[in-house]
Structure 1
């Protein structure tokens, strides 16, 4: 596979940043190509060289950011010292650092009706990591619990806390909110299904 032209990478980065900047004042449905190109300081022709239309652009960017988020916050550790069995876990300090850098995206993800498909994508990705985490050595697999209950609790509790944290001006430091949330997730339910060490904080 050939290398991507640096000019293409630069243009896409500018459009992605323009998208994030516009989320401060626009919903997904209100955003338009003129706003995006003006904010990014590129022409409409340049935009159409990279994306078919606004919907394709939004879909691409939303999916890219979700992918970037998980690449940033997931780490793999050996299961019971066995390097051949790597299990994922989420580092909450990195979660809140990422959210703090892109708060508008996560407020949109949680609150907008037009973001429903992306909430589903976010939630499905998280559930995949949950299953991978409990794949080894769990006598009560998380599959035995209703998927929608586990998914809704994990996704909406995490995003709900993040949403409140952003709306309150991020008054707590990343490491502090991460430590508090990590403690919240050490509940009887999480112990029972093998998730007590899925959400971790670097400070505890």
Structure 2
């Protein structure tokens, strides 16, 4: 019984996600209302609220699903020598979900902060998985946050340009481009190498 219930939940959530994407292709995100999403999905408005709190929550749930799949695919490569591979898999996931990514890029001014805040959370999770040393570190205040914000902005801007130019390069090439832009530098800061040097120098 629970299996069939789970399938119904998944199907309903997918219908709502598809309805949102269809509406985003027709009008700005800010003009889309929950009632429209439910109607486009062929569902009642109360059904929407059984699954999501708002249209923003619905959009982020779609992004979360992509990220969950990404984390599954990078698990075998969580090694400091495999950063290019992790970046390539990121662009593979984006390419596989190009409809959503294109719609986000076309409405970037409306939902930029929403998307970037969630992207920064994703990046924190990925770098958390990189930390092989379980011992806690005392980092200078704010420096890691500065680096994280810079990496998030760089990644988001690169993805937007890739999408706006019809994805002219392969995910593998884009992964190499991304890593060449952020390593060494931001990646070293977030992995702790630069921070330890700053601590030792008394900064």
TM-score by length of 1: 0.69
Cα 1:66/1:128, change in 2 over 3 Å = same
- Offset of residue 182 of structure 1: 2.5
- Secondary structure of the residue aligned to 2:32 is coil
Deviation digits for residues 88-142 of structure 1 (CA, Å, limit 9, x no counterpart): 9972222222223231354278x23455344323313322432442352899x69
How many residues align? The count is 183
Q: Which residue of 1 aligns with 2:118?
A: 121
Q: Which runs of 5+ in 2 are unaligned?
A: 194-203
- Offset of residue 2 of structure 1: 3.4
Cα 1:50/1:107, change in 2 over 3 Å = same
Cα 1:38/1:49, change in 2 over 3 Å = closer
Distance in 1 (CA, whole Å) between partners of 2:119 and 2:90 is 13
Deviation digits for residues 123-169 of structure 1 (CA, Å, limit 9, x no counterpart): 13322432442352899x69436133112111111111000111111
Deviation digits for residues 46-80 of structure 1 (CA, Å, limit 9, x no counterpart): x4223269x82423323322322322223235888
Cα 1:118/1:9, change in 2 over 3 Å = same
Q: Which residue of 2 aligns with 1:202?
A: none
Q: Note if 1:156 corresponds to 2:157.
A: no
Q: Which residue of 1 aligns with 2:171?
A: 174
Cα 1:20/1:90, change in 2 over 3 Å = farther
TM-score by length of 2: 0.69
- Offset of residue 173 of structure 1: 1.9
Distance in 2 (CA, whole Å) between partners of 1:5 and 1:168 is 39
Compare the two structures and name the one with the higher strand fraction.
1
Distance in 1 (CA, whole Å) between partners of 2:173 and 2:78 is 27
Distance in 1 (CA, whole Å) between partners of 2:63 and 2:139 is 24
- Secondary structure of the residue aligned to 1:56 is coil
Q: Note if 1:70 corresponds to 2:67.
A: yes
Contact residue 133 and residue 195 of structure 1 kept, 8 A = no
Q: Which residue of 1 aligns with 2:92?
A: 97
Q: Which residue of 1 aligns with 2:196?
A: none
